């Protein structure tokens, strides 16, 4: 299985962010979560709406800031290093907070529209 980054195609901000992957030379498929069978892939549909899922080549799934880090880990050396930094002890809690803030405010960010707003329930913040 090729690593796959899933994004919310109903959100203009998410769509714009996902479109950056080819330019970054990430070795991932970039696919709208609305175009796949999430249950068959083992992706939490509830969680996918609030946190971007990344399906690793081994079939494991990470969400949110860890998904971004994993996707960066498929790119050129500087991006791989950045991906490791995002999940480094001491940095990871901050990365999780920043990701959460962006997710909660994506409708206000470039490309965002009112349709981008996510449900107000809390993100789980865990990959377990």
Say how far apart CA 7 and CA 50 lie, in whole Å: 10
Beta pairing class for 29-32 and 4-7 = parallel
Q: Which residues of the chain have pLDDT under 70?
A: 119-128
Burial bucket for residue 66 (CB in 10 Å: 0-12, 13-18, 19+): buried
Q: What is the pLDDT of residue 123?
A: 46
pLDDT at 109: 75
Predicted local distance difference test score (pLDDT) of residue 120: 61
**pTM of the predicted structure, to 2 decimals:** 0.84
Residue for token pair 């290093």: 81
Question: pLDDT value at position 95?
Answer: 96
Phi, psi torsion values for 89, nearest 5 degrees: -55, 140
């Amino acid at each position: 299985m090729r690593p796959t980054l899933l994004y919310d195609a109903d959100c203009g901000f998410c769509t714009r962010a996902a479109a950056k992957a080819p330019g970054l030379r990430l070795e991932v498929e970039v696919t709208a979560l609305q175009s796949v069978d999430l249950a068959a892939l083992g992706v939490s549909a509830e969680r996918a709406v609030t946190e971007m899922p990344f399906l690793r080549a081994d079939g494991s799934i990470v969400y949110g800031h860890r998904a971004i880090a994993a996707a960066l880990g498929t790119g050129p050396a500087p991006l791989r290093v950045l991906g490791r930094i995002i999940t480094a002890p001491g940095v990871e809690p901050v990365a999780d907070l920043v990701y959460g803030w962006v997710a909660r405010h994506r409708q206000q960010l470039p490309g965002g529209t009112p349709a981008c707003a996510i449900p107000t329930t809390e993100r789980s913040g865990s990959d377990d």
